Structure 1
């Protein structure tokens, strides 16, 4: 009987470990601090109980050594890694590279055994000094975007040498080994030219597969940012541009399923429809949708900016073949994710035995809970719950997570933000000769002009809010 009880206990323990074995890696961006008003994001805004791994983006490189980029990175590192005091199970990694970093410095660094060793030594010293638990490579991408064909093999060599150095250092200092992970491509051509998949599978702790940006305004037609499956409009190479194909390609070519982490975007891509009456997936477009008032990048909205667009009368459509939504209003079209699509993708991830979810990024979810009326971090919380991640040792902060708590009279609970919708009044000429950006409407405190490539879009803040020129955002009056 005692043996049976012991065995039952062991089975329960194993099940508990298996049940909570998923990874939830969440990226923090060191430029979120520069967003205006309610969009501003710093390590103090992070809920330490939300994710299993936090990844700080980005570090750079100088003379083949890892280096800070922002003036206050060291201060931010301290706050970021201090979150482990509130969650003893939390792991933090430092990501190096990113899209804007390009490939030239990576190519130069991997070129010789000496330059690789210089880099590896600098990484160990840097990570230990600032109390990170590992390094996340974000080389976009080995073997393309100016990177040489031999970089595909040299990337494997680098990762192999780094793991060996991490193992040796861990023994010397009697501390847990530093982790080595990579953010990797989801597009077929970039995967083929960039990675020796089965070899990397032996050395990387995790592959953070960037299963988003499959479609955007650069293509000239509407498309979903992060579709789970291919859609009826997909022809040619577009049949590969979906999560299901990308993740299975990595797995079938030798990456262990438990090391493959599925990418989830907390943002969407926007388009200007060529013909506002054609709103289908694959409809012709004339360019990027207007920039959001907080993220301020044409063709791109954070989830909290998306909620404002939806709350202001956009038509929402469920794209059943691809298991993601889209929305449109006037000539603006948006491909995005919501709670439902995150839930479906998380269930698919579990059914396919992948290692977990990766989120780009913390600062693009509705982290204040002000805009979407779905609580704080609605998308990432959906993932946390779907993956069964509850940390016993975690102490959530008692202060509000967001920088500003909305007053009770928020007018319907959707909070501050621009409508994200607006009529194009290209003929009015307000934006002619003006730099892209947001300008107040002199005749209406609630309105503002969004200038995109000389074209004029008149937009409005939500009721009760005014356009604030000090932050170029909608604020409480």
Structure 2
């Protein structure tokens, strides 16, 4: 990876130069919502009908797939989804709704058959434009999670060809140009391996920086660590000092992604661990992921509405260096974001003239308002209020 410790002055000098070249613009609040959340039990069951059309500036449906070089949505309730999208846009004509293709389970390999040849890629791009127009979407979000070193050029080429096709369609019709965005990695090594950033900057309307999952049950040795710390912890050394939101934002800007195109990722979930000893601090030994949440049902992750229930009787610690909280109850440890931490993150991105915030995902916020006693969508609303404030 080159030098083991980045010269911070060089990184932030590049960011300052970028800031001086840009004017202020309206902040974006980009909100992902997932197809599988509709199948959760109450109070976690979430459908497009659950969405306030004025909550976010952009909505992104996750995820579409690729089949026979065509974009598809494999959802038995797809017709209801399309109707809900039309209804949301009728209520708020300024709302932009995109569909995201790919995702973690789809992986990098899912893109390979389509991206392997110019003909298959062209067929895919034609299907994308037709699909988006037929179903009243405003654009495409490419979540290639994540291109490896040999995929870097293919990813750049796909984005470029999509951008050119969207521009050509715009020029040939009276329709508003389709948006093109990408969900991108926040880890330095992956950024270096996966992206030709200066080229992507020319073709993408903005990036959704997935600045979370910095720590979790997949790490070895397994110790507790926060999902999405704003800043480096005082114990962080070497590569671990890169695992925070501040560094990820600065590194993308240093690599010459315009700051107004960088949308900071904010999670509405936490990463949990099962402690291996009486030590409960950050960096404590863990024996495995935390217990599954009662609604989401997956080990090592809790939605915010589950975290609010967990906090009853838990010991809460706010990390002053990383500006995020964690909680411990028995042998369960969870690092998460709350209203205070997301407000701090928004202030941070505003200070750096970033383009806005990306929420993953609105269906894991307390969207009913019944679990946290903070009203519906407490985290998203806190982000929205902070973005809108002067």
TM-score (norm: length of structure 2): 0.92
Matched, 1:217 2:222: no
TM-superposed CA distance for 1:20, in Å, is 6.8
What is the distance in 2 between the residues matched to 1:263 and 1:103?
21
**Number of the residue aligned with 1:103:** 108
What is the distance in 2 between the residues matched to 1:355 and 1:81?
26
**Number of the residue aligned with 2:10:** none
Cα root mean square deviation, aligned = 1.4
Aligned residues: 366
Long gaps (5+) in structure 1: 1-17, 144-148, 391-477
- 1:159-170 map, 5 Å: 159-170=159-170
- Greater length-normalized contact order (CA 8 Å, ≥ 6 residues apart): 2
**Number of the residue aligned with 1:290:** 291
**Number of the residue aligned with 1:233:** 235
Q: Report the secondary structure of 1:175's partner residue.
A: coil
TM-superposed CA distance for 1:331, in Å, is 0.5
**Number of the residue aligned with 2:15:** none
Contact 2:85–2:136, Cα closer than 8 Å, also in 1: no
Contact 2:317–2:325, Cα closer than 8 Å, also in 1: yes
**Number of the residue aligned with 2:254:** 252
Matched, 1:348 2:353: no
Long gaps (5+) in structure 2: 1-22
- 1:219-368 map, 5 Å: 219=219, 220-275=222-277, 277-310=278-311, 312-368=312-368
- The ranges of structure 1 where at least 4 consecutive aligned residues each deviate by more than 3 angstroms after the TM superposition are none
> Which digits, 9 at most, give the CA deviation of each residue in 1:322-362, with x for residues without a partner?
01000101111010000000000000000011000000001
Q: Report the secondary structure of 1:150's partner residue.
A: helix
Contact 2:359–2:380, Cα closer than 8 Å, also in 1: yes
Q: Report the secondary structure of 1:83's partner residue.
A: helix
- 1:53-202 map, 5 Å: 53-143=58-148, 149-202=149-202
TM-superposed CA distance for 1:19, in Å, is 7.4
**Equivalent residue in structure 2 for 1:42, among 5, 27, 47:** 47
Contact 1:313–1:329, Cα closer than 8 Å, also in 2: yes
Q: Report the secondary structure of 1:244's partner residue.
A: helix
TM-superposed CA distance for 1:233, in Å, is 2.6
Contact 1:211–1:242, Cα closer than 8 Å, also in 2: yes
In terms of Rg, which structure is larger?
Answer: 1
> Which digits, 9 at most, give the CA deviation of each residue in 1:49-69, with x for residues without a partner?
110000000000001111112
Contact 2:24–2:353, Cα closer than 8 Å, also in 1: no
TM-superposed CA distance for 1:150, in Å, is 3.3
**Number of the residue aligned with 2:204:** 204
